[in-house]
Amino acid sequence: MTSTSILHQTQWMHTAPGLSFSYQDDIAIIKMENGLENRINNQFLEQFSSILDEIEGEPSCKALITTGASKFYSNGLDVDWMSTQSAHTVVDFFRNFQDFLLRMLLFPLPTLAMINGHAFAGGALLAFTHDIRTMNSQKGWICLNEVKMDKVANPFMAQYVRTKLGDGQAFTDSLVLGRRFTAAEALRYHIIHLSSPLSSLAEESITFLESLCGEDGYRRSTLARFKADVFADAVNIYDRDRTQDKVMVAEQFFTEAQKAEMDQKGPKS
Amino acid sequence: MSVKDSSHLHKPVKDLGTVALFYAGDIAVIVMDAGENRMNTVFTDKLSELLDEVEGNTSCKGLITTAEGKFYSNGLDLERLQQYSTEQHKEFFKKLGALLMRLLLFPVPTLAAINGHAFAGGALLAIAHDLRTQRYDKGWLCFNEVFINRQFLNFHYPLMRTKIGSGINYTDAVTLGQKYTGSKSLEKGLIHAAPSASLLLPESLQLLKSFSGKSGYPRESLRLMKADVYGDVIEQYKLDLENIDEMVNKFMRASKL
């Protein structure tokens, strides 16, 4: 049994296969257990987003924790699924993914990514949208390995990662060299706030979150405004890129068939 | 102990007298060996030539720069520069800028193994690399421009800041010109490792390989990533080139003080 003690006692609402959520006191917890790797595809984004809608609609909720079960927090994008879709779907998916990351980045509640295992590429990008990161001290790496997989940095994502990590080795090693960090290293480089063995990770994460919230928690509208200001650089890039019909990032994942489809139809279809 | 001997580098692939290129497996090692390794036009030309070699070797998976003896580099060759005309100053600063930018954006991972003192321009050279190691006990890494009445070019600031991180480590190093031996540099986030002298190069090779792995980085991917991450350095560098005359005049006035 790999669940932590608190999560083990929780009553989960299974809203969809692979994604469940629950409330622990006033804290919403989303648990990803979609296959082993919690790969991200359109279905994942849809289901996750509707859970976020529910949480946003629940006025008593004061914080959000996301986590995975077992070996992975998330191993990133579902490239297998992407390779079977039309090029148009893949391009749309990247827009959806970017929208999702922006929503998480600016979420009107304090957010904590409880990194139970590996967080690679898209999974790490998701973890970085949260306000707080905690990690399993015993297992798992956090890693933005896009450069090693021949993928360019999406400017919006690179910017919010930079704001979260700050300039310096944590940032340059992560993005330029695709460095992977254990919990101990991530703590040393201020990539995470807290590292704990799996059995106590949930409890420590919740305690930390509650100490930040205090008695009254954050007023949602104020927090949302602050996030929009602090992450303005990233938001501006997101807005700028959104209005341009950019398929650049999606193109890197295209199969031959998808490339051919794109050549025939042209960029907008 | 000779830095070359520490990693059994015996036969240079290219030897330009004051600097030579070796290979340790598929990692290129450029070794400077001219005392203080001061920077002038000859220096930039030779280094440029060796970088051409390295870039042209597609099986090369990484680059280390280092030096023999007491100095990594003691910065600009101020004595020589005194003899340069305004035009020669201009040519030198263009070449030095181009060298720094080329290293910053190099399509294989780069590591500066700081064997001794790295002052001013020498510190800048080191900071342009992806990774840095430094002897833990001897030799200072120091951006001492503030002490010698020199100014940085505008593009040096985003370069140093992106590498060091803004905050107290950056302000101490740049505005106050603090000097650091290896163990201190490590603490301040300026370097990645601080081995002993005899292990400097061997551990640097290990460190570089731990990043690049067996297959290394796809060159185009790394090149584009660096261009994205260091985008604000590139932008400022272009602006500095447009204002180079003004900058050269400022430098030459400072030389007369």
Residues with Cβ within 8 Å of residue B65, at least 6 apart in sequence: B29, B30, B32, B110, B111, B112, B113, B125, B129
Query: Cβ contact (<8 Å) for A152 and B224?
Result: yes
Contact A147 B217 (CB under 8 A): yes
B79 touches chain A (CB under 8 A): no
Task: Please give the structure tokens belonging to residue A120.
Answer: 């690679």
Identify all chain B residues contacting A180, using CB atoms and an 8 Å cutoff.
none
For chain A, say whether B217 makes contact (Cβ under 8 Å): yes
Q: Calculate Rg over the CA atoms of chain A.
A: 18
Structural domains in chain B plus CATH codes: 3-255 (3.90.226.10)
- Alpha-carbon distance of B81 to B177, in angstroms, equals 23
Distance CA B204, CA B207 (A): 5
Choose the mutation target among B207, B229, B230, B234 for the interface with A, i.e. most A CBs under 10 Å. Answer: B229
Q: Between chains, do A155 and B228 touch, taking CB under 8 Å as contact?
A: yes
pLDDT at A49: 96
B189 contacts: CB under 8 Å, gap ≥ 6: A168, A169, B164, B165, B169
Q: What is the pLDDT of residue B152?
A: 87
In chain B, which stretches have pLDDT less than 70?
A: 257
Opening angle at CA B239, ends A232 and A166, nearest 5: 35
Q: CB neighbours of A222 closer than 8 A, spacing ≥ 6?
A: none
Q: Which two tokens stand for residue B102?
A: 């080329």
The verdict on a CB contact (< 8 Å) between A175 and B229 is yes
* CB-based contact B225 A153, cutoff 8 Å: yes
Which member of A151, A169, A172 has the closest CB to residue B229?
Answer: A172
Nearest CB to B225; choose among A167, A169, A176 = A176
Find residue B175's DSSP bridge partners.
none
Q: Which residue of B has its CA nearest to A167?
A: B165
- SS3 category, A211: helix
Give CA–CA dist A253/B88, Å, rounded: 49
Taking the C-alpha atoms of residue A121 and residue A124, their distance in angstroms, rounded to an integer, is 5
Look at the alpha carbons of B52, B55, B58, B64 in this order and tell me if their dihedral is positive or negative: positive
Chain B positions in Cβ-Cβ contact with residue A170 (cut-off 8 Å): 165
Min Cα separation A172/chain B (Å): 7
**Closest A-chain CA to B222:** A147
Residues on chain A touching B126 (C-beta within 8 angstroms): none
**What's the confidence (pLDDT) of residue B114?**
98
Domain locations in chain A?
Answer: 3-265
Å between B108 CA and nearest CA of chain A: 10
Q: Which residues on chain A are in Cβ contact (under 8 Å) with B220?
A: 150
Q: How far is the alpha carbon of A59 from chain B, nearest alpha carbon, in Å?
A: 38
Residues in chain B with CB shorter than 8 Å from the CB of A155 are 228
Q: By three-state DSSP, how is residue A169 classified?
A: helix
| CA-to-CA separations, B254 to A265, B18, B148, B151, B152, in angstroms, rounded | 61, 28, 9, 9, 12
Burial of B13 (0-12, 13-18, 19+ CB in 10 A): middle
Asked if B173 and B160 count as a contact pair (C-beta separation under 8 A), the reply is yes
Cβ separation A176–B220 shorter than 8 A: no
* Homologous superfamily assigned to A3-265: 2-enoyl-CoA Hydratase; Chain A, domain 1 (3.90.226.10)
In this complex, do B222 and A169 lie within 8 Å of one another by their Cβ atoms? no
pLDDT score of A215: 84
* Alpha-carbon gap: A163 to the closest alpha carbon of chain B (Å): 11
* Residue A139 to residue A130: CA distance in whole angstroms: 20
Res B195: pLDDT: 98
In whole angstroms, how large is the CA radius of gyration of chain B?
17
What is the pTM (predicted TM-score) of this model?
Answer: 0.90
CB distance A158–B189 less than 8 Å? no
Chain A residue numbers with beta carbons less than 8 Å from the beta carbon of B168 are none
Taking a contact as any Cβ pair under 8 Å apart, which residues of chain B between 18 and 37 contact chain A?
none
The residues of chain A scoring below 50 in pLDDT are 1-4, 269
Q: A166 and B218: CB-CB below 8 Å?
A: no
pLDDT of residue B1: 77
Question: Are B193 and B186 a contacting pair, CB within 8 Å?
Answer: yes
- In angstroms, the separation between the Cα of residue B208 and the nearest Cα of chain A is 10
Q: CB of B228 within 8 Å of any CB in chain A? A: yes
DSSP annotation of A267:
S
Measure A162 CA to nearest chain B CA, in Å.
Answer: 9
Top residue of A145, A149, A172 to mutate, by most chain B CBs within 10 Å, is A172
Secondary structure of chain B in HEC code, one letter for each residue: CCHHHHCCCCCCCEECCCEEEEEECCEEEEEECCCCCCECHHHHHHHHHHHHHHHHCCCCCEEEEEECCCEEECCECHHHHHCCCHHHHHHHHHHHHHHHHHHHCCCCCEEEEECCEEECHHHHHHHCCCEEEECCCCCCEECHHHHHCCCCCCCHHHHHHHHHCCCHHHHHHHCCCCEECHHHHHHCCCCCECCCHHHHHHHHHHHHHHHHCCCCCCHHHHHHHHHHHCHHHHHHHHHHHHCHHHHHHHHHHHHHC
Yes or no, beta carbons of A172 and B130 under 8 Å apart: yes
Is the Cβ pair A168, B163 closer than 8 Å? yes
Q: CA of A59: how far to CAs of A55, A65, A109, B237, B255, in Å?
A: 8, 16, 11, 50, 67
Q: Please report the pLDDT score of residue A241 as a whole number.
A: 83
Give the one of B164, B217, B226 whose C-beta lies nearest to A168's C-beta: B164
What the block records as the tokens of A35 is 């296959």
